[in-house]
């Protein structure tokens, strides 16, 4: 596959050419945070931010999504018929996402696209989306991707990786989808593939050296779940949690949802909305019983799912790519790196986790 050199002077005209075939999305600086938004005519992604506040998860799996409409009206010809909404995801590309966010899609895919179960909403949106990553050269202080299976120049899950070389970008296609994306642009200058590889590797190694935040996961697989589950530190870990759910909403690898019907008279629409294991209502049964009615149970569940049940089920990796968003966003400073340390060595944990 041809590696393309994009002169910065031709960056914006190439984006405008691409907008004829793709809806383009990229980070925008909204003053208080960077967020992924659609890039309208003559808009380019703002690549000056360290990372977006919310991950790219919501572009494929919206926070609130209509699944289908229905009617219960006996006089309606469509009585009892569920009508899928016609809106199919358009062909689009996300430009400037960090490699950890792309890797997160591969983790989430294990839930939405399995040999047994296919989620058509997620799969259609994922297949319609081209993921254009930007290699990190300045990781945040809270990033720990290198010990969570990803890295500043990781290509996992990406269709194209970009490297900013001040006067130009290196654009290396990784998949056929990425190659087709670059072909639809007006950027045609080819560059030496081995030089591009060398530049990407050097940039990745230099950025890795700047990462000062790590997690240790080597014992998680061998520990018996109940040893971690019954460890003494969960009360301390969960003490300050206010059940806001922020950690799960900002997380690119959290996938839980709830389904609700919004009805008006005899008609309705079935909605799928993000939900959170940190909310007390998440596990409330119709009988009134709640198997995770206590805060400590919910906090334990979040970390057990990401760092133990997922590890046991899939046998490689954890359900976290080390983006650090939950660390930065938690209003009471609950830190997955600290909790992971306790879970990795529950035998040493005797005192407060904060």
* Closest distance of CB 91 from ligand SF4, Å: 27
Binding mask 53-92 for ligand SF4 (x = CB under 6 A): ----------------------------------------
Does the protein bind ligand SF4 through residue 326 (CB under 6 A)?
Answer: yes
* Nearest alpha carbon to residue 269 among 89, 64, 67: 67
Calpha distance 21→38 (Å, rounded) = 14
Does the protein bind ligand SF4 through residue 277 (CB under 6 A)?
Answer: no
- Single residue of 93, 322, 340, 346 touching ligand SF4 by CB under 6 A: 322
* Nearest alpha carbon to residue 48 among 126, 138, 108: 138
Binding piece for ligand SF4, criterion CB under 6 A, among 21-29, 225-233, 249-257, 260-268 = 249-257
- Work out the number of other CB atoms within 10 angstroms of the CB of residue 327: 22
Binding piece for ligand SF4, criterion CB under 6 A, among 42-50, 133-141, 201-209, 327-335 = 327-335
Q: At what angle do helices 295-304 and 336-344 cross, to 10 degrees?
A: 80
Output the CA–CA distances (angstroms, integers) from residue 205 to 5, 89, 162, 227, in the order listed: 21, 37, 16, 37
Number of residues located near ligand SF4, criterion CB under 6 A: 25
Does the protein bind ligand SF4 through residue 106 (CB under 6 A)?
Answer: no
- Single residue of 60, 171, 203, 323 touching ligand SF4 by CB under 6 A: 323
- Residue closer to ligand SF4 (CB basis): 185 or 319: 319
Helix (H, G, I), strand (E, B) or coil at 118: strand
Does the protein bind ligand SF4 through residue 243 (CB under 6 A)?
Answer: yes
Binding piece for ligand SF4, criterion CB under 6 A, among 80-88, 175-183, 191-199, 235-243 = 235-243
Calpha distance 162→152 (Å, rounded) = 11
The structure tokens 């006067």 sit at 167
Does the protein bind ligand SF4 through residue 320 (CB under 6 A)?
Answer: yes
Calpha distance 252→112 (Å, rounded) = 14
- Single residue of 252, 304, 342, 346 touching ligand SF4 by CB under 6 A: 252
85 contacts 122 by C-beta, under 8 angstroms: no
Output the CA–CA distances (angstroms, integers) from residue 29 to 34, 40, 55, 141, in the order listed: 5, 14, 14, 20
Does the protein bind ligand SF4 through residue 1 (CB under 6 A)?
Answer: no
- Residue closer to ligand SF4 (CB basis): 39 or 148: 148
Binding piece for ligand SF4, criterion CB under 6 A, among 3-11, 90-98, 250-258, 342-350 = 250-258
Q: Nearest 5°: CA angle at 167, between 3 and 5?
A: 15
- Residue closer to ligand SF4 (CB basis): 131 or 334: 334
Residues that bind ligand SF4 (CB under 6 A): 241-247, 250-253, 278, 306, 320-326, 330-332, 334, 336
């Amino acid at each position: 596959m041809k590696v393309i050199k994009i002169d910065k002077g031709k960056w914006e005209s190439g984006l405008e050419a691409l907008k004829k075939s793709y809806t383009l999305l990229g980070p925008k600086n909204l003053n208080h945070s960077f967020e992924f938004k659609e890039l309208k005519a003559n808009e380019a992604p703002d690549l000056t931010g360290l990372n977006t506040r919310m991950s790219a998860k919501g572009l494929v799996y919206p926070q609130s999504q209509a699944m289908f409409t229905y009617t219960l009206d006996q006089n309606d010809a469509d009585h009892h018929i569920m009508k899928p909404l016609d809106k199919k995801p358009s062909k689009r590309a996300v430009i400037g996402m960090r490699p950890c966010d792309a890797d997160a899609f591969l983790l989430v895919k294990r839930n939405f696209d399995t040999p047994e179960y296919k989620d058509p909403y997620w799969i259609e949106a994922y297949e319609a989306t081209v993921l254009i990553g930007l290699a990190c050269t300045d990781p945040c202080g809270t990033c720990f991707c290198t010990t969570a299976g990803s890295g500043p120049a990781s290509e996992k899950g990406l269709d194209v990786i970009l490297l900013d070389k001040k006067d130009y970008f290196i654009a290396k296609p990784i998949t056929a989808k990425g190659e087709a994306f670059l072909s639809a642009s007006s950027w045609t200058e080819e560059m030496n593939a081995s030089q591009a590889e060398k530049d990407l590797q050097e940039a990745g190694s230099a950025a890795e050296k700047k990462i000062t935040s790590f997690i240790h996961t080597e014992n998680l697989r061998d520990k018996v779940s109940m040893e971690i589950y019954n460890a003494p530190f969960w009360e301390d870990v969960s003490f300050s949690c206010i059940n806001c759910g922020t950690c799960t909403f900002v997380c690119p690898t959290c996938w839980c949802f709830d389904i609700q019907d919004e009805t008006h008279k005899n008609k309705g629409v079935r909605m799928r909305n993000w939900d959170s294991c940190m909310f007390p209502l998440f596990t409330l049964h119709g009988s009134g019983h709640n198997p995770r009615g206590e805060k400590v149970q919910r906090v334990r569940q979040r970390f057990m799912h990401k760092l133990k049940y997922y590890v046991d089920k899939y046998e490689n990796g954890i359900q976290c790519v080390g983006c650090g968003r939950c660390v930065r966003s938690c209003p009471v400073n609950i830190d997955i790196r600290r909790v992971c340390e306790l879970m990795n060595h529950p035998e040493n944990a005797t005192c407060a986790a904060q």
